[in-house]
Structure 1
Amino acid sequence: MSGRRGMSVRDLSPIIWRKSSRSNANGGQCVEVGRTGADSLVRVRDSKDPGPTLVFAWTEWDAFLDGVRRGRLDEPVGRL
C-alpha cells in the first residue's frame, strides 16, 4: 500500500493466528498460520518461537495446500 509521496505504509491490522490441528499440547511440532483482513498474504510461524515468520501470497499457499491434499508431497525428496 502506498501513502502520500509514494512512501510505503505498513498494514497494522492484527494478525489472527490459527494453530495447526496436528499440533499437540506436549510441545511437539506447533505450526500457526495467520492472516489479516487487509491483505492477501498468509503468514506461517512456529508457535514455540513466534518471532520469525514466513510470508506467502494466498495463491502460493493455496497451491501448497492443494499439493498436500493430493499427496504430491508424500514422496521423499532426493538427497542433497
Structure 2
Amino acid sequence: MAKIPDPRNPKKIKHQMTVMMFYGIFMFVFQMSSRRETNQEMTTPQLLENLKVLFPELTAMPHQDTLCRLLEKIDVAQIENLYINLLKN
C-alpha cells in the first residue's frame, strides 16, 4: 500500500496512505452501505484500540470524506497493478 503514490498535499496529510487504504478496504469488507454509516460504526473507541494493534501509527480514524477525496485523486490503474504484482509473487 505504501507504494501507491500519494496525490495529497504533504503539508496537510494527517493519516498515512496505508491507513487510508485499509480503511477503505475495511469499509468494503464490512459491507458499509454509506459513508455516514461507516463514520458511525468504524470510529468507535474499541475498534480504534483493536486496529492500533495492527497499525501502531494510527492515532485517529479518518473521516469518510477524507477517504473519498483521496480516492477521487488516486490513479486506479496503479492500485490494480500493485494488486496484480502482489498476486504474482
TM-score normalised according to structure 1 size: 0.24
Q: In proportion to residue count, which structure has more strand?
A: 1
Larger CA Rg, structure 1 vs 2: 1
TM-score normalised according to structure 2 size: 0.23
Greater relative contact order structure (CA < 8 Å, 6+ sep)? 2
Q: In proportion to residue count, which structure has more helix?
A: 2
